[in-house]
Amino acid sequence: MHSSPEFQRIVSWPGVFRGRMLAGLGIGIVSSLLLILGLASLAGILSVLTSAAGSGDRGLLPVAETLSQHWDACPMAGLIRRMPMLHRNTSATALLMTVAVLAFAFRWFLLSTVANLIHGHIASAVLRLRQHIHRKALRLEPADLTHEQTRGANHLFQESAQQLETSAGTWALIVTSGLPELVMALVAGLATNWRVALQVLIPVILGRMILQKEQSRGDSSLRLLSEQVQRGLTSMAESLRKTRIVTAYGMEAQEQRQFESQLISYRTKCRQFSRQQGVAQVLRQTLVTAIVAVPAVILGFQVLRGLMPGAAAFIGLLGFVVFRRLGDTITLGTLRAEGNERAEEIGNYLNQIPSVSQVAGASFLQPMSKTLSFNQVSYQTPAGGAILRSLDLRITFGEKVAVLSLNPEAAYALASMIPRFVDPDLGQVLIDGRDIRQATLESLRAEVLFVGGDDPVFDATVLENITCGQPDITRQQAQEAAKMVHADHFIRTLPKGYETPLGEHGIKLDAGQIFRLSLARAAVREPAILIIEEPSIPLDASTKSMIDDAYQRIGVNRTVIFLPTRLSTVKRCTRVVVLHDGRVAVDGPHDQLVRASELYKHWEYMRFNPFRDTTDQ
């Protein structure tokens, strides 16, 4: 199976023999040996108890006598003879019980160590992927006009990365802990009595594989039937939307017959689903019972033929280990496929090339002092929709311009071209006659700031939200900017003033307060061009009044471009530019356009007429 590079960097078969994975494998092998030792100790206790009646107080000596008949077990027989504690029932039982408890306790500690090692390795790798996603989002998402890419990045950052971590972690734990246990159990069983072990392990292995296949087939069948049941329910629910037509055209009887037919079909599917669930459950229980019963019968028969009960119990316990670990091993392919799918999603995102980049030889851009020009600008969305077509527009320094469009994407795209969040497919954006693509992004974005209407706050203090952590902005400058946009008053009412934490782990602000904080963040940097997208959330009268005054203050000696949601903002602008069919359709002051432009009157009606909703109905 082909694996994506991102998945290979996290877990792979070659990677098992390097670094933390190799350490985990080594510890997993030791824990497997401890498991065998613990099971052998329990089997030894059973041997002592069962042989006490017939052999007297001889401990494990009868076991040694039996083992000495097998050349491959002679070392174990010699060890028993050399340890006097194993020659009496009481001391042998106590010693074996101590060994079993210590073996299982230390094994639990080692398995926890392996889990911590694997978790640390996988979590570190996925954390690096999340860092890559974040860095890529910073480069890609400013160009995301529809926010589809933002939602996709959030999905990758949270769900896909978490699923990848879970799949890769489970895969690595099975490889480092489960596989060694499976191999050790098989080897120990064959070494104890290979003939009996094969008679027990072959049915266990075959039964486990059949059970796994049946589970996969049954789950797939139930999933398909569940989808059919859901479609039937959805189809019946759709009929509720037809009531007006049914009543108007006298179709009640026909609709009732059709609904009854759908209802009968739905009930039939539900019964079929429940019946199939029951059959699947019974079949699986039967398979499990058979997998347990067949080895038990075989071992019981072998005990009657002279096999030591302890050896039979040991082989039976090893069969259970094989059954459990074989089931884990079978899922390795599924886990790898799931992890690979999530890793490919992330890899495809990381491999995207940003549409905006700094050209070689770019130089510092001086602040705008004369004009901002759009020359024959064309732009289409990634989905292929053309929203700007050979657009020409010229804005003089110091103007206050409202950019409107019936399709909000057109105005947003035009404004986003100025700080180069997106670049035009054709044409140029010029500041004082210079193509902004020839300027460094740092100098351009220092002079062109975009205040979003729905910009969130950072999980930091109020001061850090204004300064963005830049040391060249003093506290005094931040406070002056806050006063300019009427944010200082509400900031001082917060528990710690400018040191109050905001965001998820701090104080929650309302929409008007967040917007004024965004204005302060922009005002403190004194840009030559300020783009303001107004909030889409309705604001109270007091907040609107403060924002209007803030606009007048921050608009001094700079060009301000509004993407407005309030008619009062449009009226205060010196120019109103209306885009339609990708071009500038009308351009002028509000008072002139409201009398002379049918398009502008239509835009105003669609946005602000209080009777529009009732009239349209």
The model's pLDDT over 179-212, given as tens digits with 9 standing for 90+, comes to: 999 999 999 888 878 888 888 888 888 888 887 7
- Shared domain for 99 and 236, answered yes or no, is yes
Distance CA 370, CA 10 (A): 54
The share of the chain scoring above pLDDT 90, in percent, equals 36
Q: Any residues with CB less than 8 A from the CB of 574 and at least 6 apart, and which?
A: 399, 400, 401, 589
CATH number at residue 27: 1.20.1560.10
Distance CA 396, CA 372 (A): 6
Read off the pTM: 0.74
How many C-beta atoms lie closer than 10 Å to residue 436's C-beta?
A: 22
Q: Which of 38-47, 166-175, 177-186 comes out lowest in average pLDDT?
A: 38-47
User: How many domains are there within the chain?
Assistant: 2
154-164 confidence digits (pLDDT tens)? 888 888 888 98
* Residue 575 burial class via C-beta count within 10 angstroms: exposed 0-12, middle 13-18, buried 19 and up: middle
- Shared domain for 275 and 314, answered yes or no, is yes
Amino acid at 613: D
Amino acid at 548: D
From 296, 319, 350, the end of a domain falls on: 350
65-107 confidence digits (pLDDT tens)? 666 666 555 566 667 777 777 777 788 788 889 989 999 999 9
Listed residue (556, 564, 456, 470) closest to 511, CA to CA: 456
At 1 the pLDDT is: 47
Listed residue (24, 321, 40) closest to 175, CA to CA: 24
| Average of per-residue pLDDT values in the chain | 84
CATH number at residue 413: 3.40.50.300
- Shared domain for 209 and 344, answered yes or no, is yes
Q: Which of 172-186, 229-243, 404-418, 496-510 comes out lowest in average pLDDT?
A: 229-243
Q: Any residues with CB less than 8 A from the CB of 227 and at least 6 apart, and which?
A: none
The answer to whether 25 and 174 are in contact (CB under 8 A) is no
> Structural domain of residue 538, as residue ranges?
371-616
From 350, 379, 396, the end of a domain falls on: 350
Comparing 301 with 464, the larger pLDDT belongs to 464
Render the burial of 88-120: b for 16+ CB within 10 Å, e for the rest.
bbebbbebbeebbeebbeebeebbebbbebbee
Question: What would the DSSP string read from start to end of 320-359?
Answer: HHHHHHHHHHHTHHHHHHHHHHHHHHHHHHHTPPPS--PP
Comparing 574 with 225, the larger pLDDT belongs to 574
How do beta strands 583-588 and 426-431 pair? Answer: unpaired
Q: Is residue 138 part of a domain?
A: yes
106-149 confidence digits (pLDDT tens)? 999 999 999 998 888 888 888 888 888 888 887 776 666 666 66
How do beta strands 371-380 and 426-431 pair? Answer: antiparallel
Q: What tokens does 110 get?
A: 């080692």
Q: At what angle do helices 179-238 and 252-304 cross, to 10 degrees?
A: 160
Q: Which of 337-341, 360-364, 612-616 comes out lowest in average pLDDT?
A: 612-616
401-449 confidence digits (pLDDT tens)? 999 998 888 999 999 999 998 899 999 999 999 999 999 989 999 999 9
- Shared domain for 245 and 376, answered yes or no, is no
Q: Is residue 357 part of a domain?
A: no
